[in-house]
């Protein structure tokens, strides 16, 4: 699950919303991770460009209330997923309104508690299926496995949260038609249990904005398009974010390209580590100024340097919350929110 370009495994990557019948929200996109030997690290790694490479507002009304900016959590790889997530400290930092929780298949029992805690602490919850070994994959069987997982576990996990169908499916090379056809099949399966907004990570580890836009609006005659309109396109932005279709590192024009899809958009992940070449900070600011929701990577669980709190996730003990502190990275994310 690491690609020659970027990979993102939170814990993933190497160096690793009830939704309410009415959610009129989000926007964003994200980037990749790093080389995947260590599922706990999430920085992304880039190679040379040659080798690689209007939105979800933070004030969107829904049955859930406003969908605000927030942070990502990746607890699956620590203490067997039996983690204290640091809610006491998070609640003290009121810019954090939304949490996106990545769940590795096999962590359903722990995830049920994580999601319940997030909701009981007043946060809007996005849950993403995250299979670290297939990030950046074009395998339709893997995308269908994610859809089946949602059909089997959405109710078990408590419902009343926003589904991010899967984390970073689709490579830099996938075509708009192939991306659309695969998601049409997967979305049909998810719709058997869920009628809310579905977040779709755009391909290329959250960086191929033109491919995603074309997969929605169609850029050629007879091209397959994503049929479901209740979706949010999510980009992931890091210093190594590379748009292979454009042959360059990402810039603010990519945010405009994604917005041209006519669907809601968001920045599902952003951080300051993993390669260089893209002005990740400027891109995130630009998206935020367009009204897109932005979610920082990561509250905890990165496995590398992008953890807002320290120490790393501690073992959960019922009735006994662990003590966490802000890390030197905390303000890098929090000041953006």
In the chain, where the domains are located: 70-334
pLDDT for 139 equals: 98
Cα separations (Å) of 225 from 67, 110, 167?
27, 36, 20
Paired tokens of 199:
């977040």
User: Residue 221 phi/psi, 5° resolution?
Assistant: -60, 130
- Cα angle: 108, vertex 202, 177; to 5 degrees: 115
Q: How far apart are CA 141 and CA 137, in angstroms?
A: 10
Contact predicate 163/228, CB 8 Å? no
pTM of the model: 0.85
pLDDT at 13: 39
> Helix, strand, or coil here: 294?
strand
Distance from C-alpha of 262 to C-alpha of 157, rounded to nearest angstrom: 31
pLDDT at position 66: 59
| DSSP string for residues in 72-139 | EE--TTSGGG-EE--HHHHHHSTT--EEEEEE-TT-HHHHHHHHHHHHHTT-EEEEEE--GGGTT---
H or E element, residue 227: none
**Six-digit token string for 211:** 């491919």
| Tens-binned pLDDT, residue by residue, of the chain (337 aa) | 233 233 343 334 333 333 333 334 443 333 333 333 344 444 333 332 322 223 343 333 233 345 799 999 999 999 999 999 999 999 999 999 999 999 999 999 999 999 999 999 999 999 999 999 999 999 999 999 999 999 999 999 999 999 999 999 999 999 999 999 999 999 999 999 999 999 999 999 999 999 999 999 999 999 999 999 999 999 999 999 999 999 999 999 999 999 999 999 999 999 999 999 999 999 999 999 999 999 999 999 999 999 999 999 999 999 999 999 999 999 999 999 9
CATH architecture of 70-334: Alpha-Beta Barrel (3.20)
Both structure tokens of 60:
């969107």
């Amino acid at each position: 699950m690491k690609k020659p370009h970027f990979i993102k495994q939170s814990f993933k990557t190497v160096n690793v919303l009830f939704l309410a019948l009415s959610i009129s929200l989000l926007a964003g996109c994200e980037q990749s991770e790093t080389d995947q030997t260590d599922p706990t690290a999430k920085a992304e790694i880039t190679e040379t460009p040659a080798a690689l490479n209007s939105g979800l507002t933070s004030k969107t009304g829904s049955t859930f209330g406003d969908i605000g900016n927030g942070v990502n959590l990746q607890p699956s790889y620590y203490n067997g997923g039996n983690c204290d997530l640091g809610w006491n400290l998070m609640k003290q930092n009121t810019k954090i309104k939304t949490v996106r929780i990545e769940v590795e298949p096999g962590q359903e029992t722990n995830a049920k508690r994580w999601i319940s805690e997030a909701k009981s602490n007043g946060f809007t919850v996005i849950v993403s299926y995250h299979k670290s070994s297939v990030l950046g994959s074009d395998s339709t069987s893997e995308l269908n496995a994610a859809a089946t997982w949602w059909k089997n576990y959405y109710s078990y996990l408590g419902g009343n949260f926003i589904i991010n169908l899967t984390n970073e499916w689709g490579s830099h090379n996938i075509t708009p038609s192939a991306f659309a056809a695969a998601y049409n099949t997967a979305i049909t399966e998810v719709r058997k249990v869920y009628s809310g907004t579905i977040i779709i990570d755009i391909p290329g580890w959250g960086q191929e904005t033109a491919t995603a836009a074309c997969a929605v609006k169609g850029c050629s005659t007879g091209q397959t398009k994503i049929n479901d309109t209740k979706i949010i396109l999510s980009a992931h932005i890091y210093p190594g974010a590379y748009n292979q279709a454009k042959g360059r590192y990402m810039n603010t024009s990519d945010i405009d390209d994604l917005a041209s899809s006519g669907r809601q958009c968001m920045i599902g992940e952003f951080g300051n580590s993993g390669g260089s070449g893209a002005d990740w900070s400027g891109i995130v600011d630009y998206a935020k100024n367009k009204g897109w929701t932005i979610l920082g990577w990561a509250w905890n669980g990165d496995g590398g340097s992008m953890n807002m709190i320290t120490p790393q996730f501690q073992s959960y003990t019922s009735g006994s919350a662990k003590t966490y502190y802000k890390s030197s990275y905390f303000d890098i994310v929090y000041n953006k929110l």
